[in-house]
Structure 1
Amino acid sequence: MPIENIPEIYLPKTMEKPDLFVYDFKMTSDVVKSKVNLSMNMFSFLQVGKKQVHFAGTSVVVNKDQSLLLKKGNWLWTELLETEAIYYCKLLFFSEKILKEFLEKHTANTIIVKEDSPYFIIGNDTYITSYLNSLSTIGNAPAIFMENLLSVKFEELMLYLIQKYGQKFEHYLQSLIADGSSPFKKIIESKIHSNLRLEEIAFLCHMSLSTFKRRFIREYKVSPGKWLQDKRLQKAKETLEEGVLKPSEIYLDFGYNNLSNFSIAYKNKFGFSPSETAS
C-alpha cells in the first residue's frame, strides 16, 4: 500500500508548503486503512461520512457530528461512505510556526504540556457550521488576500475552541509543539487486540517491516507474528468465555481473514475449538 504524503499531494507541484492551507476532500467510494504521512497538524471537519484513524497508541472513530484535530505523524485512516453517495470533509492544515505565534499572543502558559493523545475531538455545533461556510466563501477571494484572511479565520477558530473547551484545549495545543513520540513497546502493546497487520503496526512505529521485526525480536525475544498471535488468541478465549459473542462474530477483530483459520490456530494453541469455549 503506497504512503500518501498529506498535505503535499493536495498542493500544486510548484507551490511551497504554506503555513495555512484549506482543502475540500471528497470521494465516492470507501477507502480502508490508507497509510498517511501527515506533515502538518490538521483539522478534519467531517461533513458527510464516517472516519476512523489508527494512531501509534490508540484509535478513534468520528461521524459527521464531530470533527478532529489531528497531530502530525504517521497514521492509518479509514474513510467510509454512509447513506450518502459521497464522503466530504474540509481540511484545515496549519504549521507549528503559526501555532506558536498564536500561543504566544493569546495564552499565558508557556509550559509545554506532555499530552499522549494524537487527536482532539470537537463537537460540531452552529458555530462550526457557520465557520465552514465562511471558509468556503473566502475560498473565492483573490489569492493576494487569502493568506491574511486565513490567518484571521485560524485565530478566530482557535479562540472559539479555547472558549468552548477551556484549559483542556489550550494544553492540547501546547502538546502539538512538544515531542510526543511514543516508546516502541507502548505502541506494540496498544495494538495487541486490534486487527492491524504487522506492516501497518511497523508504519505507525515509523519503521520498515524488516527494521520493525529486528527491533521486536531484540525487545521481546520472539517473532512479532508469534507474540501477537498468542496475545490475540488469549484475548479471544477470554472474550468467548464471557458467553456473549460467537466465534463467527469475533475472528475478524483478532486479525483473521476467515473463521476456519481462526479455529485452526485456536485449537492448536488451546487443544479445543473456539465453539467448544463459547458453548
Structure 2
Amino acid sequence: MTTAPYNQSILKMNGLSVIESCTHTQNNAGTMFLEDHLFLFVLKGKYTVRYGNQSYTVKKNEMVLLQRSITVEYEKSGEKEEEYLLDYMMFFLKDDLLNEFVKMADLKPSYPEALVPVSVKSVNDRLISYIESLKPYFNQPEEVRNGLIKIKLLELLFDVADTDGNFLIQFLQLKRKERKSITEVIEENIFNPLSLNDLAYLSGRSLSTFKREFKEIYNTSPLHYIRNRRLEKAKELLTHTSLSVTDVCFSTGFENIAHFSKVFKERFGISPSLLKKPLRLT
C-alpha cells in the first residue's frame, strides 16, 4: 500500500480480461484504445472519458456504454467528501458475448433511423446489487470458472437492458456498426503510431482477415506498405522542411529514432541525419 492507495483486481474469461475492479485515490489521466465494447460503472468518485469533441463524466452510481475500436482520453478523480476515493468497475464485452445475448433476449432486428446517443445513466438498486455480487470473486479470481464469468456477464446485459430501453438499442447499434474499408483506415492513420492489431480493430476485422484483405488490395504486406509510405513522407519532410530528424521520426509514425534511422538508411542508402545536413559549397 502506497501513500495513494491503489488496488486493481481482474476477472478473466478464456485468458482475456473481461472485468476489472479498481480503487485508488491518486488523480490520473491518460489515453487508452478500446479493443472491446466497454461498460463503465462508477461506485465512488468521478471518471471522465473524452472521445473527439464528446465528453462523458461518470459520477457515483452512474454508468456509460462505449463502442470498441476508438481511442479515448480519460481522467480519474475522487470527491473531497469521500477522501478522493475512486471506485469503479469496467466490463469488456466481446462480440460473441453480444451475439449470444441478442439471441437469448430474442431482440428484433429493428433499428431507429437516427443513432441513439451515448449518455450517462444512473445505476439502480438492481445493478448495485449485481456489482456487490461480483466482489467475492475478486478475492480468488484464478478459481472462478470461465462459465460462471460468462453467466455473470450475460446477467449484467439483461439487468442493464431492463434498466433502460435505450441500452437495448445501443447493443443493436454495436452489432450493426458497419466496418470501415481498409483503405479508409490506412489513409486516416498512416502516420499515427498504431500497431497492425490497432489497425485491424479500427477496421472491424481480425488481424488475420485484415492482413489477407490488405494484401488483396495493395499486393503487399501491411508492414511493408506502411513503412515505405512513412519513409517516403519522412524523406520529403527532411528535404523540404526545417523539422529535425527527431521531429520527422515521430511525426511520421515511428516511435524509436534508432530504428527509424536504420530502416531509412536501408531504404535510401543514406542516414536521415546526413540527408538533413546542408550541402557545403566548395
TM-score calculated relative to the size of structure 2 = 0.53
Establish whether residue 45 from structure 1 lines up as the match of residue 20 from structure 2. Answer: no
* Change in 2 beyond 3 A, CA 1:25/1:142: closer
The one of 32, 54, 58 equivalent to 1:58 is 54
The residue that corresponds to 1:171 in the other structure is: 169
Q: Could you give the per-residue CA deviations for residues 180-227 of structure 1, whole angstroms, max 9, x where no partner exists?
A: 689xxxxxxxxxxxxxxxx9xxxxxx8xxxx9xx9xxxxxxxxxxxxx
The one of 41, 66, 75 equivalent to 1:70 is 66
Give me the CA root mean square deviation.
Answer: 3.8
Counterpart contact for 2:44–2:88, Cα < 8 Å: yes
Counterpart contact for 1:41–1:94, Cα < 8 Å: yes
- C-alpha separation between the residues in 2 aligned to 1:17 and 1:114? 38
Which amino acid is the alignment partner of residue 18 of structure 2?
A: F
Point out where structure 1 has 5 or more consecutive residues left out of the alignment: 1-8, 183-198, 200-205, 215-279
Counterpart contact for 2:39–2:63, Cα < 8 Å: yes
Shift of 1:95: 0.5
SS at match of 2:176: coil
SS at match of 1:148: helix
Shift of 1:57: 4.8
- C-alpha separation between the residues in 1 aligned to 2:92 and 2:143? 19
Counterpart contact for 1:30–1:81, Cα < 8 Å: yes
Counterpart contact for 1:51–1:62, Cα < 8 Å: yes
Counterpart contact for 2:10–2:21, Cα < 8 Å: no
SS at match of 1:79: strand
The residue that corresponds to 2:223 in the other structure is: none
Deviates more, 1:125-134 or 1:21-30: 21-30
The residue that corresponds to 2:208 in the other structure is: none
Rg comparison, structure with higher value:
2
The residue that corresponds to 1:93 in the other structure is: 92
Q: Could you give the per-residue CA deviations for residues 56-97 of structure 1, whole angstroms, max 9, x where no partner exists?
A: 352111211311222222111111121123322111212011
**More contact order relative to length (CA 8 Å, sep ≥ 6):** 1
Counterpart contact for 1:54–1:75, Cα < 8 Å: yes
Shift of 1:136: 0.8
Point out where structure 2 has 5 or more consecutive residues left out of the alignment: 1-7, 181-191, 193-201, 203-229, 234-282
Shift of 1:114: 7.3
* Change in 2 beyond 3 A, CA 1:127/1:160: same
- C-alpha separation between the residues in 1 aligned to 2:136 and 2:150? 15
Which amino acid is the alignment partner of residue 27 of structure 1?
A: H
Any residues of structure 2 matched to 1:141-160 within 5 Å, and which?
A: 143=142, 145-160=144-159
- C-alpha separation between the residues in 2 aligned to 1:181 and 1:10? 33
Any residues of structure 2 matched to 1:57-136 within 5 Å, and which?
A: 57-72=53-68, 73-83=70-80, 84-111=83-110, 116=115, 119-136=118-135
Any residues of structure 2 matched to 1:29-44 within 5 Å, and which?
A: 29-32=26-29, 34-44=30-40
Which amino acid is the alignment partner of residue 34 of structure 2?
A: L
- C-alpha separation between the residues in 2 aligned to 1:117 and 1:55? 16
Shift of 1:10: 8.3
Which amino acid is the alignment partner of residue 179 of structure 1?
A: K
**Alignment: residue pair count:** 178
Shift of 1:146: 2.8
Which amino acid is the alignment partner of residue 63 of structure 1?
A: K
The residue that corresponds to 2:161 in the other structure is: 162
Which amino acid is the alignment partner of residue 52 of structure 1?
A: T
SS at match of 1:29: coil
* Change in 2 beyond 3 A, CA 1:158/1:67: same
